[in-house]
Amino acid sequence: MKIKAAVAHDVGEALKIEEVELTEPGPDEVLVKIVATGICHTDAESIRGRGAPFPVVLGHEGAGIVEKVGAGITNIQPGDHVVLSYSYCGECSQCLTGHQNLCQRTVELNFGGKSKDGSHHIHQHNHALSTFFGQSSFATYAVANKNNVVKVDKDVDLALLGPLGCGIQTGSGTVMNTLRPEPGSSIAIYGGGAVGLSAVMAAKIMGLKHIIVVDLHQNRLDLALELGATHALNGKEVDVVKEIKRITEGGVHYGIETTGATSVIIQSIHALRVSGIVSIVGMGGDVTLNFTNDLLMEGKKVMGTVQGDSIPQIHIPKLIQYYKEGKFPFDKLVKFYDFEDINAAFEASKSGETLKPVVRIAK
């Protein structure tokens, strides 16, 4: 079938909305009419060449309505509202032990440009285009494997739900699934973007005593306080490590680093108390530490977390229920853009003007 898609033709080029050909879903796949798709930092990194091979149709926070299902699918039906998340095989030892986010085929299935069975679903002028995260949801329609698909309630605005499939899942899941902090403990969250603020809301739900957010932009710090942070620190104005240790009388139990900036990663380690744990979720580079002084002698732990250790089919419905109860108001992060304005939405995300751009695709 012929559809419209935002195609990234080469590194650094603006996306172009063009006609492409989408093949029919296979036995374990669904065809989804995309209603809206969130824009994530990973999409931007892919445009810079750190993703699937070009040309590619990006988009990995899709939400839409199922139109067709493959013969092998029984739990999803046409008309269902769904959120699309990351791709995993469902067959390796990681998947079979509840660690789908660390599937042994993660890189292949999410960044390799092909479907799970090795085929290409998107073509243009008889040439294959890469898919992204097994969905490529910057398009009017997408074909996705059943493992990508999360059935959601129909009483919530579907256009709002796409970001739950990656960024918001990552921030909230890192708190709820990875760190699992004790009520009354303390956490520092570095970066007040969509991932960091999702972590703030999750920390509030879990009853932490100190929820400290560090950022350079006052508007993000103000929103962090509105969403549940107990303290908001501007990294340009205070000695972050010293202030965190003062607030918590020795350092935080937990940290989440979302920026990927080397200096901030080091801050996040230094601000931990003895035996504290920091989870790194931002894409960063080289970091130089003194292993003995920074980690060993105080028993600190540094770990990487992917997708918030979340199983999408479990975590996303949980977040939606919290949203309905008024405990997880992630809609305060979102600003909507028309599909035709997708490049402007990317620029708004890059500048910090918009925390979580969502592109409305269905008219």
Give the span between the Cα atoms of 208 and 181, in whole angstroms: 8
Q: What is the pLDDT of residue 259?
A: 94
* pLDDT digit string, tens, across residues 42-90: 999 999 998 899 999 999 999 999 999 999 899 999 999 999 999 999 9
Q: Do 137 and 63 share a structural domain?
A: yes
Per cent of the chain over pLDDT 90 is 95
* pLDDT digit string, tens, across residues 125-170: 999 999 999 999 999 999 999 999 999 999 999 999 999 999 999 9
Residues 36 and 158: beta-carbon distance below 8 Å: yes
54-68: burial string, b at 16+ Cβ within 10 Å, e else: bbbbbbbbbbbbbee
Scanning the structure block, which residue is given the tokens 């091979």?
A: 53
Q: Do 183 and 142 share a structural domain?
A: no
In the predicted model, what is the mean pLDDT of residues 333-342? 97
The pLDDT of residue 28 is above 80: yes
Q: Do 253 and 272 share a structural domain?
A: yes
Q: Do 209 and 63 share a structural domain?
A: no
Q: Do 182 and 82 share a structural domain?
A: no
CB atoms within 10 A of CB 280: 23
Residues 7 and 138: beta-carbon distance below 8 Å: no
Give the span between the Cα atoms of 63 and 80, in whole angstroms: 11
Q: What is the pLDDT of residue 284?
A: 82
Residue 312 belongs to a domain: no
Residue 313 belongs to a domain: no
Q: What is the pLDDT of residue 72?
A: 85
Answering whether pTM is above 0.75, one says yes
Q: Do 229 and 298 share a structural domain?
A: yes
CATH of the domain at 151: 3.90.180.10
What is the extent of the structural domain holding 35? 2-165+329-360
CATH of the domain at 213: 3.40.50.720
- Radius of gyration of the chain from Cα atoms? 20
Residue 195 belongs to a domain: yes
Residue 320 belongs to a domain: no
Q: Do 276 and 242 share a structural domain?
A: yes
Q: What is the pLDDT of residue 141?
A: 98
Q: Do 250 and 266 share a structural domain?
A: yes
Q: Do 111 and 53 share a structural domain?
A: yes
The pLDDT of residue 186 is above 90: yes
Q: Do 150 and 29 share a structural domain?
A: yes
Residue 226 belongs to a domain: yes
Residue 314 belongs to a domain: no
The pLDDT of residue 363 is above 80: no
Q: Do 196 and 145 share a structural domain?
A: no
* pLDDT digit string, tens, across residues 220-237: 999 999 999 999 999 999
The pLDDT of residue 356 is above 80: yes
Residue 333 belongs to a domain: yes
Residue 310 belongs to a domain: no
Nearest alpha carbon to residue 332 among 218, 220, 174, 184:
220
In the chain, the number of structural domains is 2
Residues 82 and 66: beta-carbon distance below 8 Å: yes
User: In the listed set 305, 321, 346, which residue is the last one of a domain according to the structure?
Assistant: 305
Q: Do 211 and 77 share a structural domain?
A: no
